[in-house]
Every structure is written in C-alpha cells, then in structure tokens.
Structure 1
Amino acid sequence: MNIQTQVKRRHFLIGSAGTVAAAAVGGPAIAQDASEPLPDYVAWKDPDDFIVHSKQTLETKRAVQGTELITPSNELYIRNNLPAPSDDIVADRDAWEIEIDGVGNPGTVTLGELKKIGVETVVCVLQCSGNGRAFFDHETSGSQWSVGAAGNVVWTGVPVRAVIDAMGGAADGTAFLTGTGGEEIPEGLPPETIQVERSVPKAAMEQAILAWDMNGEPMPLAHGGPLRLVVPGYYGVNNVKYLKRLALTEDESPNKIQQTSYRVRPVGVSGDPSQPSMYEMNVKSWITGPLVDAETGKVQVHGVAMGGVSALEKVEVSIDGGQTWAAAQFLGPDLGPYAWRPFVLITELAEGTHVLASRATNVAGDTQPEKFPPNERGYGNNGWGVHAVDVTVG
C-alpha cells in the first residue's frame, strides 16, 4: 500500500521519550476551543473531547475513545436531525405520554406505566449512518465524520415485545415497527418533510427496547430523554429520540426521512424507496491510538470493533498496511452481540513510518473489507484501508 496516497488518515508521531502527538486531516470540522462553551443542551459535556461540526453535531475525538468498554455519557457524540426540545419535557419524566398503535388495544400510556410492564438492560453500539463519511473521496453532504460518531452505551427500559403483548398483541397485517419523535416542527413546514419518524422491519421488535436510562442514569435530553426507542444493531437514525408514538404498521412511514433520506444509492442518484435503507450496521473496527512503553520500546496498538448484528469473532491488526496480519486480544468482558469490544496488539515498531490497520470478523463470517464502495450520502463506510493510521517512529 502506498502510504503517500492515504491522505485522509490520521497521522501520529511517536517520539523517543514515549510521547504521542496527533493531528486530524481531511475534514472541515475543527476541534472545539475550550474557551468557547458548547450549546446549552450539551453544556454538561467536556468541550475538549469533541470536534464540533455544528450545534447539533458533535464528534468524539478518536483518541478519547481509547480502549473504553462503555462510552461515558459526557463523551458520547451528538447527532440531532432537529433541535432538541425544551428541557421542560424531562421535568416530570414519568408523566411523559406515548401513543401505542397497530395493536389489539391501542391507547396512550405514560412512562411511569411503561416501567410497570417490564425492564431489561442491553449494551449496544450507537452509531451514525455517516460515521466514516470523511474518508470517501467524493464530496458528500452532511457532517464529515471520521470515527467519532459512535459509542458503546448501556440502555435500560421496557422491551418493545412486552409492550406490544400488554397492549393486546400485534394487529394483523403489520410489517414494520414505526417510531415517531417528539421534536417541535417549525411552523409553516409540512411535518412529513422534517419530522423524525422511522420504520424498521417488524422482527426488530424482538431486540428493541423503550429506554429511559442511559449508562445507569435518566436519559439525558440531548440523547433523547425522557424516552428513546433503541434498536440494537441498527444505525442511530432508527433509534428515535423523544419517542411520542410507537406503532406496528403495514407500510413504512411516508416521511422524507424514511422514503428518500438514509437510502444507499450510487453517487449522483436521488433517493427513493426502492433503495436499501440504513438499517443494520455492518462489521467494523478502527485504531484509536498507539501507546508507547518508553522502557521497552514496545507499542500497544489498540482500538474498538463491532460485529453489527452479529457477535464479534476476531480482530486482526496489521502494522504494514495490510501485507501481514496478527490476531489482536480483546480487552474486558463480552457485553453481548451488539456491543463493541476494545482490542489490543502489543508489538515492536522499527524506526520509520508504519501503517496501522485493523480488520474485524463477526460470527456470521462477515469480514471488514479493505475498501467500501462510494455512495451518494457517504453512508456505512467500513473499509479498513482508509480507517488506518500512519505512525512515524523516531
């Protein structure tokens, strides 16, 4: 692999004293200036941990991800299609109401009532469909995410299947699970053009939960509190925030975000319902940093990996741009098939420049490819080649 052609990687310089310096390349976003406060609704997060794309899109820095088993809430990325509602909606969380349709006994229930139906905890990756978009060669609209639009999160709530059962079971002829968000629709705009409403295949309700806690605390407003639909293994757009309606439906939502947005199509082609929707995540991994032991000169090459909708089987690491591979070691316990797993390979690097890459494989036999084909909106990029890092040892 020609190192000079990989212009969209991150570049590291490891000095003889064991220090690491890094600089981001290939994207219009800039690191947040700690002297500038974050928007009010995310003021509780540390600005030093983020790259700010806009008030509604904050990317976690690659180095911050490190080898974290669980992403702390104050380090988790932000991606909102619409401005967050007023924090008035979390003043009395248990009073939040949600409409349930497409069942034997449709009706409205409160969050407090949902808590009496059942409870489960699931650990799963939350990842924006465009994570990795900055690594495509063609120009794409949307935030130029590198690897920081992802995190591993603990969600607690009621299983959707239990709610459906409690409401009389699924109505006949339904094929989709449809969630509608409670964001305020700007006056004068037709709701279907901007309202967040996503439909996923009905089978997804077997894993889905209506979550009210995130990482052991009440769901923050910035991440969808008081109630969020969580569909393990599915891209973030399907995990609808501020959930106001949950329905089993015969057809997909008619809204733009379902019909034409988040559709995978060739570059230059408009979106339409016949194209694949951004549903299930693919297998993926990336390097989050080299660490240097100044006494031995050995380097820890570490990162994170996910299997998508299947558990991980292995992660391999290359220090020569994919010419040879070595098995990495998983760090920490396995938190389930939808969670990511940190990994590490301890190796020695000779003086010079090396291309460090990782390649994940899940139990279904899917292996991360070297290259991922371009698409109009820059979705789903899991190519290990562009996610690699160049490291200079000197």
Structure 2
Amino acid sequence: MSLLPQLKRRHFLIGSAGGLVGAAAGLPAMAQEGAALPDYVAWKDADDLIVHSMQTLETRRGAIGSGLVTPSEDLYIRNNLPAPPEEIVADRDAWEIAIEGVAEPQTMTLGALKTLGVETVACVLQCSGNGRAFFDHETSGTQWSVGAAGNVIWTGVPVRDLVAAMGGVSDGMDWMTGTGGEEIPDGVPAETIQVERSVPRAAMEQAILAWDMNGTALPLAHGGPLRLVIPGYYGVNNVKYLKRLAFTAQESPSKIQQTGYRVRPVGEKGDPSQPSMFEMSVKSWITGPLEEAGTGKVQIHGVAMGGTAALEKVEVSVDGGANWTVAQFLGPDMGPYAWRPFVLITELGQGTHMLASRASTVDGQVQPEMFEPNERGYGHNGWHDHAVDLTVG
C-alpha cells in the first residue's frame, strides 16, 4: 500500500519545498522531501527526493527545474524487485548476457559486447505510473506526481549492431524480450515475479544495451552493469540487470507482461488483450515558480517530451487554459526522445494563477486537457491535472 494518501484535487497547490504540500496535506514523514535514503541509494541527494518506499523514490518537482539532463543523484528510483548484490558490479566486463532468436545465438560478456559498437543517446526515462496521484479514483501503486521521470544520457551497444553481428533475427520472431537478473526466491515460480518484458521487434532499431549513464558506469540502483534502454518507451520496458535478450515469436509469459502494465477500465483485471505500456505520449509540466511570487515579470519554466516524436512547441497558460502563449525552448535539441526545457517570461498580477503547459509534436500530437482514468493510473498526460496554483502578491 502506498505511503501517500489519496489526493483528490485536479491540480495541486505547491509548497515552498517545490513538491506537493506535505505536512499540511497529512503526508507521513517518510513520503516527504529530505527523508533518509535507503543504503543502496545513499549516494543520491536526499534534499531533492521524496522517499515513498525502499524501492520507490521520486524527484521533487522543484528539483527538476529547467535542466537538460537529470543528474544521477536526482533521478527517481522504481524497482519491481530488490537489486542484486553489489558483487555483480565488482567486475562489470565479466557480466554475461545470452542472445537468442538470432541466426548465431550465443552468450557474451559485457567486455565482448563493447567491441561490437557504441552509441550515446539522450532519452526520457519515465515510470508508467508517473502522474498517478492526479487521478480521482483510488489506484494501487506509488502515488507519483511528476517526479518519476528524468532525462538521461545512455551509452552502450546498439541492438541493431548486435543483431547484425549475429547474423540477423530469425524468421517469425516478432518480439524483442529482455530478462532481468534479479534473484528469484526459492520455491517461487519465476514467471510470477520475474522482470521480463517483450516489446515489438521494431523497437530494436533505437534500442541499446547500456553500460554507462550520464557519463559514468551504470549504477547498480539503475540496472548496472547492463540495462536494456528503449528510447521512447516507458521505464518498465527498459529492463535492468539484463541477462538475456531474445527475439521471440510470442510475448513473455511473465505476469508483468501478460496482466501487469495493461491499460484497462477502472475495476477490471488485466489480461493480454488490453493495451500494454509501450510507447510514451506527449507530455509537459511546469517546474517553477512553485512558491509565492511577487507581482511583475516572472520566468515560468518546465520540461516537455514528445514520447516517440520530436516536439514542435510548448504553450503556457497563466489563466487555467483560457489563453495560451508559445514558450521558448532552452538549450540545444538533444534528439526526439529527450525532453526539452522551456521558459516563458510574462507579467503576473496579484492573485492566484493556474499555471499550465501544453506540448505538441511535429507529427500532430497535442497534449490533451483531460485524461481518461484507468485502473492502475498509467500514462496520465492531461495538462489540466498537471497544472499548479501560484499565489502572487
């Protein structure tokens, strides 16, 4: 059960720390900013994180700011299972991965993988449930607001190069399946808890097997020594501690694939016929100012992403969506899968202003005002619920 209570507002007042109002909203101490971090992520910045549980830490909204790249120390944590022991990163190049469903299947070490090719890509890493706290119905799972996302620079071998070196994908293999290396307790059927996800085979064109994150060796907490990264896809598909990459005729039989991460109406159970959490949608949100502001000129800033398409523009409203003004992108364009910080300088008079942002992509996708509820609270990108109230005086 989540440590956060159910929050029933369409958009939230923001506290001086830059997150959801904490003590005033009755949040328990552990779910507030600055709580003590679990030992395996003690190297992160506690002041910039909200601790929901041992396996779920959220970046404060205000800490996101207008940065191009999310510092590793601030990046959110979402682990379905406890991380393997530290020993697996003691000799990173010795880590082994099985490659299957290709003409020449084999098991390779990470050291050998590094000789097949290398590529760096910037992309958004985002939990499927980011924005879950904005739904009105009771949803199980961590009550993320906006901080289960970050823009990350990954380095690794492109899957397309790996496949080419092994003679290509075998006929009839329509899925790319990644299997994580977390330990499965004795007596527990692997398919009930194992992190194993299948995505459409076409995703191999942009996927990489990453060993570096933000210019340093991939931390254990984020999947080191090796992680499958699929730009444009929700985080659950970016399998950590990757020990097997297989091209398969069918989707994985694991529970996390068959019934988990399925989008279904409120009250319904998951099943394989329902849409799976694959590609991300266009989305944006305001990251500042989140405290009370003085009258006059202010800078309103935030971040926006196109999911699988490049952004065309971001618009900002200071009156709850009645009027919109095109914002300015900040910094260089890091590619279609990365987010883009934005800013709008405008004048605000005394009173309460509802600040909202709305992103559009080059292929015509527009961030919607509202978002249809679903049972598990996945994929929320409605701009109205992501808006914030700012008091100016």
Give the TM-score band, short-chain normalised.
over 0.9
Residue deviations 1:212-242 (CA, integer Å, cap 9, x gap): 0000000000000000000000000000000
- Quote how far apart the aligned CAs of 1:10 are: 3.1
Question: Are 1:121 and 1:156, in contact at CA under 8 Å, matched by a contact in 2?
Answer: yes
From the superposition, tell whether residues 41 and 294 of structure 1 become closer, same or farther in structure 2 (CA, over 3 Å).
closer
Residue deviations 1:313-339 (CA, integer Å, cap 9, x gap): 000000000000000000000000000
Cα distance in 2, alignment partners of residues 57 and 294 from structure 1: 31
Question: Are 1:235 and 1:278, in contact at CA under 8 Å, matched by a contact in 2?
Answer: yes
Match of 2:282 in 1: 283
SS in 1 for 2:171: coil
From the superposition, tell whether residues 6 and 83 of structure 1 become closer, same or farther in structure 2 (CA, over 3 Å).
closer
Cα distance in 1, alignment partners of residues 209 and 18 from structure 2: 39
| Moved >3 Å (runs of 4+) | 20-23, 25-34, 291-296
SS in 1 for 2:82: coil
SS in 1 for 2:161: helix
Q: What is the aligned-residue identity percentage?
A: 74
Match of 1:159 in 2: 158
SS in 2 for 1:205: helix
SS in 2 for 1:131: coil
- Quote how far apart the aligned CAs of 1:295 are: 9.6
Question: Are 2:18 and 2:60, in contact at CA under 8 Å, matched by a contact in 1?
Answer: no
Structure-to-structure mapping, 1:43-122, within 5 angstroms:
43-122=42-121
Match of 2:298 in 1: 299
Q: Which moved more, 1:283-292 or 1:303-312?
A: 283-292
Match of 1:211 in 2: 210
Q: Which amino acid aligns with 1:312?
A: L
- Quote how far apart the aligned CAs of 1:9 are: 2.7
| TM-score normalised by L of structure 2 | 0.94
- Quote how far apart the aligned CAs of 1:186 are: 1.7
From the superposition, tell whether residues 234 and 22 of structure 1 become closer, same or farther in structure 2 (CA, over 3 Å).
closer
Q: Does 1:24 align with 2:20?
A: yes
- Quote how far apart the aligned CAs of 1:38 are: 1.1
Show structure 2 runs of 5+ residues with no match: 1-6
The number of equivalent residue pairs is: 383
Show structure 1 runs of 5+ residues with no match: 14-19
Cα distance in 2, alignment partners of residues 293 and 375 from structure 1: 34
Question: Are 1:44 and 1:74, in contact at CA under 8 Å, matched by a contact in 2?
Answer: yes
Residue deviations 1:2-22 (CA, integer Å, cap 9, x gap): xxx982533258xxxxxx665
Cα distance in 1, alignment partners of residues 351 and 8 from structure 2: 17
Match of 2:11 in 1: 9
Supply the RMSD in Å over aligned alpha carbons: 1.9
From the superposition, tell whether residues 23 and 334 of structure 1 become closer, same or farther in structure 2 (CA, over 3 Å).
closer
Cα distance in 2, alignment partners of residues 12 and 174 from structure 1: 48
Question: Are 2:61 and 2:287, in contact at CA under 8 Å, matched by a contact in 1?
Answer: yes
Cα distance in 1, alignment partners of residues 11 and 293 from structure 2: 25
| TM-score normalised by L of structure 1 | 0.94
Question: Are 2:33 and 2:49, in contact at CA under 8 Å, matched by a contact in 1?
Answer: no
Q: Does 1:146 align with 2:145?
A: yes
SS in 2 for 1:75: coil
SS in 1 for 2:289: strand
